[in-house]
Amino acid sequence: MPGLQHRNHKTPTRPGIYSERVMHELSICTSIVEAVAKSVAAYPGATVTKVSLRLGALSDIVEDSLRFCWELTTKDTPLESAELVVAAVPIVMRCDHCNADVTLESLQSFRCPLCHEPVNELLHGREMEIESIEIDDGKDEPAKKDA
Amino acid sequence: MTTRIVELRQGILKKNDELAHVLRDRYTQAGVLVLNLVSSPGSGKTAFLERTLRELTTTGAKAAALVGDLETDNDAKRLAASGAPVRQINTHGTCHLDAEMIGKHLDEWTARPLAGLDYLFIENVGNLVCPSSYDLGERIRVALLSVTEGEDKPLKYPTMFNSADAAVITKLDLAEPCEFQRDEALKNIREIRPGIEIFETSSKTGAGFDGWLAYLKQERAKR
């Protein structure tokens, strides 16, 4: 399968773990598709042109894998041509020492980048959200009247 | 055709989160402390749980377990030997337990499966990736790692370890032949999840179980 060649360095290569990786994003895509289908049902005749997601760095979703699974999941469905937009949400934690909200640069150390004390209060970073969808309502523009 | 944007602001796993919320209420109503055990396959979750259930039952505490595997009821049979009520959940391919499965199995188990229980342990499918996103309504998430898995495991799976409330190092009896670097392992766990409770145990020898059981008792007392 051609798509499998383009993996980023974060993706593990051992087969057992690999299949955990792809399955995770596959079940996430299924949930997205179900939620979008439910929302668009309120607009009969409309097609979805864009699905915008917010994914936190601690949501453990790898964007490449997600896009790969999105293609698989939406193929031959009305969502096939919808654009998937992903906004990455960084990890923001509260540092009581600095009395500030700080952004972590790495997942390898949960310490304030300013004072290096351990931080535990997560403010952002676990988001796994469908922020919005863009739809074409499928109705023709009213015919322009002559002036 | 007109384009419009429909704001959803909806969690992708909204359905699971809602069901988990219902479960959380259900556990609170029943007064049960629920723990979700997560780890790689082969880390010794079942052996750890087996010993935990035996020890708790000996002290007169009432504990039960739901155990998740893709296939077989081998783990449930092993755990049932402890005398505690145990139910197997077979996911037949799904790589994690979710709130819907837990709810369904609780409903099908007995009329009131949580009645009179002090503890319910949920042994998740062995997998350090997917289970991290699926709330099962638990109060405590316990991440296990064995001395055979390498000291850098928490660094490799930060999402899971950061989501845990307690960490248990298992198979301590094998630490020496594996040249397990204890200080490094503890440091790595704490780098990923500052303030986490860590228990170093051997299900074979019983090492570390006093501390683990004391922790359970202390957490149970916090309603």
Q: Which domains does chain A have, with CATH numbers?
A: 8-136 (3.30.2320.80)
Contact A123, A94 (CB under 8 A): yes
Closest chain B CA to residue A141: B1
* Residue B129 forms contact with A (CB below 8 Å): yes
Can you give the pLDDT at residue B103? Answer: 97
Residue A146's pLDDT band (cuts 50, 70, 90) = low
Contact A37, A137 (CB under 8 A): no
Q: Do B159 and A59 touch (CB under 8 A)?
A: yes
Can you give the pLDDT at residue A132? Answer: 97
Q: For residue B25, what are the contacts with CB-CB under 8 A and spacing of at least 6? A: none
Can you give the pLDDT at residue B111? Answer: 86
Provide mean pLDDT across the span B135-150: 97
The sign of the dihedral angle between the CA atoms of B204, B169, B35, B56 is positive
pLDDT per residue over B175-202, tens digit each? 999 999 999 999 999 999 999 999 999 9
Provide mean pLDDT across the span B103-129: 94
Q: Which of B8, B11, B194 sits opposite A132 (nearest CB)?
A: B8
Can you give the pLDDT at residue A21? Answer: 59
Can you give the pLDDT at residue A26? Answer: 87
Can you give the pLDDT at residue A12? Answer: 45
Largest CA distance in chain A: 70
Q: Which of B5, B13, B95 sits opposite A132 (nearest CB)?
A: B5
Residue A6's pLDDT band (cuts 50, 70, 90) = very low
What is the fold, at CATH topology level, of the domain defined by B14-221? Rossmann fold (3.40.50)
Closest chain A CA to residue B164: A120
Can you give the pLDDT at residue A128? Answer: 95
* Residue B6 forms contact with A (CB below 8 Å): yes
Provide mean pLDDT across the span B68-87: 91
- Spell out which residues of chain B touch residue A24, defining contact as CB-CB under 8 Å: 95, 129-130, 133
Residue B199, both tokens: 């228990």
Q: Do A133 and B5 touch (CB under 8 A)?
A: yes
Contact B139, B164 (CB under 8 A): no
Q: For residue A47, what are the contacts with CB-CB under 8 A and spacing of at least 6? A: A78, A81, A82, A135, A136, A138
**Does residue B174 surpass a pLDDT of 60?**
yes
Closest chain B CA to residue A28: B12
- % helix, strand, coil for chain B, step of 5: 40, 20, 40
Can you give the pLDDT at residue B70? Answer: 86
Q: For residue A139, what are the contacts with CB-CB under 8 A and spacing of at least 6? A: A45, B1, B2
In angstroms, rounded to a whole number, what is the distance separating the alpha carbons of residues A80 and B27?
Answer: 41
**Which backbone phi and psi does B173 adopt, to 5 degrees?**
-65, -15
* Residue A83 forms contact with B (CB below 8 Å): no
**Which backbone phi and psi does B186 adopt, to 5 degrees?**
-65, -40
Can you give the pLDDT at residue A16? Answer: 46
* Residue B162 forms contact with A (CB below 8 Å): yes
Contact B76, B68 (CB under 8 A): no
pLDDT per residue over A57-110, tens digit each? 998 888 999 999 999 999 998 899 999 999 999 999 999 999 999 999 999 999
Provide mean pLDDT across the span B112-118: 94
In angstroms, rounded to a whole number, what is the distance separating the alpha carbons of residues A32 and A28?
Answer: 6
pLDDT per residue over A7-33, tens digit each? 444 444 444 445 555 667 888 999 999
* Residue B214 forms contact with A (CB below 8 Å): no
